Chain A
Amino acid sequence: EVQLVESGGGLVQPGGSLRLSCAASGFTFSSYSMNWVRQAPGKGLEWLSFITSSSHIIYYADSVKGRFTISRDNAKNSLYLQMSSLTDEDTAMYYCAKETYGSSCGNWGQGTLVTVSS
């Protein structure tokens, strides 16, 4: 069974940094592209970033480009999102998602909540 477990969320001050992790199990992590998606309270889904299995191709949403960095460690079956220069607009639930057929997000974690506040 595919499992994705996010961690690393919490309360951070504006201008601060945070590193999110996503631990994967139940599938061959090194063979799949991965995504990060977030959802602000009461709002819709916002795609943030994509990374291929080998990390050769990476994409970002304009809203996080230059502030967030996606990475992965296939030996540790883990996906990461390094976030910096955080503002209150980054307050959201952050999900990792495994890419599947048709480049869709076939499996999602339960999310980790990031709150940016002073």
Chain B
Amino acid sequence: DIQMTQSPSSLSASVGDRVTITCRASQSVNNFLSWYQQKPGKAPELLIYAASSLQSGVPSRFSGSGSGTDFTLTISGLQPEDFATYYCQQSYSAPRTFGQGTRVEIK
């Protein structure tokens, strides 16, 4: 099974900050990597698919990069509505594992 490791597990940031979350796969997942945002009590929402493609309707301050085993989610100019938990997921092979999540909190 492919293990997905996110770092950091949590971070504190201020509105306007640039935030970077990393996701590392235990073996190559090519570009079959997605990023999701989840707010408390809500279902997750897709932000990025295929490592770097922005889902329709998602603000352009979100971007994704990487290929193979190392991936990054960047939020350029953190907004109040961005405080949430973020998850990566590989869909290269089954089981389609998620990272453990990164909680973005207000500083």
Contacts and interface: CB of A to CB of B under 8 A. Distances in A.
Interface string B77-100: 000000000010101001111111
B37 to A, nearest CB: 11
Contact of A101 (B33, B49, B94, B97): B49
Interface residues of A, number: 24
Contacts of A1: none
Contacts of A44: 87, 98-101
A45 B44 contact: yes
Nearest to A59: B94
A110 to B, nearest CB: 6
A11 interface: no
Interface of B: 1, 31-34, 36, 38, 43-46, 49-51, 53, 55, 87, 89, 91, 94-101
Interface of A: 35, 37, 44-47, 50, 59-62, 95, 100-111
